[in-house]
Structure 1
Amino acid sequence: MPSTEKLLHFLSSSFLCVGGVILLGYGMSTDWAEAEMECAPMDSNEFKGSSSLKIGLFNGTESKISCPRISKYNEKVPVFDRLVKLSGAPIILHALVVILLGLALLGSAGSILVALYNSFSNPYQTYMGPIGLYTCSGLSVCVASLALILYVSNAYLGEMFQTLVKADTTQVKLQNVNIKLHVGFFLLIPYIFLNVGAILVVYLYVHAAYTRRKEQEKPTEDAPKEIMMY
């Protein structure tokens, strides 16, 4: 039977990973960002229209006012369909973000399984031991951090929102793009910290167990002379 200390550490690690999966799963289903920008026809420099978008990873909505000559409210925005129309960096980066988040979820699922398995068994020297948990949670942390960076780069430098507008209305000029990030994006941050916490909880237990074992394996010359006489 595993010790209470071991059980608590590995179960705590699995609960942290479960919390991370819940956060990331919710984050991937909700809004990630919104943007407002001014519009003008290609043959004019009068930016009298506007477009406002609010998007998640897969879908969103757009409201246009004379952008360039039509007005639409709460029009559905299939993110991938629009980005594919103009191809280029925005669709590549956005697809990478989704793929990386999928890998993060896969890594978290692996961490949960490994932590639960270690709670009731002792596969220390195999890939199903703490090394497996470090690998899975470490993968989740790395790919989620990369996804965070790529999304910001795509939104602010890759002109993703401008591409979404131009894919639906090609003959338009845009300026003064104001972007705000939403809860879906920010949930990546606690997700990353929860996975780091899952690693730390197990590492503290492994380190304490290793220290105790080394103390028990001290050579006899370190023992008191009174004990060595017998």
Structure 2
Amino acid sequence: MPSRRKKQMFASACFTSIWSFVIICLVLANKNWVSSNVNFTEGNSSAIITVTYGVFEGVCSKKVIGGLETPAKNFQVTAKLEKTEMKSLNVVIILLLVLSLLSSLMSSGFTCCNTITNPYQTFLGPIGVYTWNSLSGIFVLLTMILFTANVEANKLSVELALNCVFSSSQYKNSRNSYEYSYWLMLLIILLNVATIIIIIFYHRARYSKRKEQERPIENAPKDGILF
């Protein structure tokens, strides 16, 4: 049976891993990743198309300066993308988040398993926890980088705005604001780091205790050891 210290440490790590898993699910399901105001010119007037979207769904609306505003409508992100590069990058982002989700799930399983048992295989212990949390953090970090590149470099918001509201107007400029679902991914990375730190503290405490137990034998008289 695991010691009380191990139960406490791995239970805490299990808690952070589960929360990481839950937040990834929320991020995937939410469409508040980025909100953009895309400005167009329509003859002598200007129009603003507001798009808010994630990796699966989004919502858009159009407002003509000094005119009418069209009601907001939902759309599927992948269905609105015509350029192969944008669509492929969006699929890669989804795949990375799914891999991060699976990694967090594996970390939760490993930490919970270590809370109640002492696995014989080394990889099922702390090494496995380090591996899965590192992978999860890397996948989320890559997701943030690639999503930002798709929005800023590939003008993803402009593409969605043009295909969301039919208009013969010309693009002028745009402004992007990253919403809470995007920044929640930083929390996922922090939770992965927290899980690793908890296990490192457990390892150090265990190593220190083992050294303390070995010290009396090392300092004992040689004739005492013979008997």
- Residue 197 in structure 1 maps to residue 197 in structure 2: no
- Does the 8 Å contact 2:45/2:64 carry over to 1? no
1:218 CA drift (Å): 6.1
Cα offset for 1:57? 2.2
Per-residue CA deviations over 1:25-52 (Å, capped at 9, x if unaligned) read 22222211110011135xx6x5612211
Residues 208 and 179 of structure 1, relative CA distance in 2, 3 Å threshold:
same
Q: Tell me if the contact between 1:111 and 1:133 (Cα under 8 Å) persists in the aligned partners.
A: yes
Please tell me whether residue 90 in structure 1 is matched to residue 91 in structure 2: no
Q: Secondary structure at the match of 1:123?
A: coil
Q: Paired residue for 1:3?
A: 3
**How far 1:219 sits from its partner (Å)?**
10
TM superposition shift of 1:77:
1.8
Distance in structure 1 (CA, Å) of the matches to 2:114 and 2:183: 31
Tell me which amino acid in the other structure corresponds to 2:91.
Answer: A
Q: In 1, are the aligned partners of 2:110 and 2:124 still within 8 Å (CA)?
A: yes
- Report if aligned partners of 1:38, 1:47 keep a CA contact under 8 Å in 2: no
Deviations 1:184-220 (A, max 9, x none): 1011011110111111111211232134334545696
1:103 is aligned to: 99
Paired residues for 1:148-159 under 5 Å: 148-159=144-155
Name the aligned partner's letter for residue 37 of structure 2.
E
**Residues 142-153 of structure 1 aligned to structure 2 (within 5 Å):** 142-153=138-149
AA matched with 1:202: I
- Give the TM-score, by structure 1 length: 0.86
Describe the superposition over 1:132-163 as per-residue Cα deviations: whole angstroms up to 9, x where unpaired.
11111111000001101111111111210111
Please say if residues 35 and 50 of structure 2, whose CA atoms lie closer than 8 Å, have aligned partners that are also in contact.
Answer: yes
Distance of aligned partners of 1:192 and 1:180 in 2 relative to their CA distance in 1, 3 Å threshold: same
> 1:35 maps to which residue?
36
Q: Residue in 1 aligned with 2:18?
A: 18
**2:81 counterpart of 1:80:** no
The answer to whether the Cα contact below 8 Å between 1:38 and 1:175 also exists between their aligned partners in 2 is yes
AA aligned to 1:4 is: R
Work out whether residues 90 and 159 of structure 1, in 8 Å CA contact, stay in contact via their aligned partners in 2.
no
SS of 1:134's equivalent in the other structure is helix
The two structures, once aligned, show a CA RMSD in angstroms of 2.5
Q: Deviations over 1:94-124 (max 9, x none)?
A: 2111111111110000001001111122226
For 1:114, give the aligned amino acid.
F
- More displaced, 46-55 or 155-164? 46-55
Of the candidates 206, 211, 218, which is equivalent to residue 209 of structure 1? 206
- SS where residue 175 of structure 1 aligns? strand
1:132-151 mapped onto 2 (5 Å cutoff) = 132-151=128-147
CA 1:24–1:106 in 2, change beyond 3 Å: closer, same or farther? Answer: same
Any stretches of 5+ residues in structure 1 without a counterpart? none
Q: Please say if residues 16 and 192 of structure 2, whose CA atoms lie closer than 8 Å, have aligned partners that are also in contact.
A: yes
What TM-score do you get using the length of structure 2 for normalisation? 0.87
Once residues 170 and 214 of structure 1 are traced to their aligned partners in structure 2, the CA distance between those partners, rounded to angstroms, is: 74
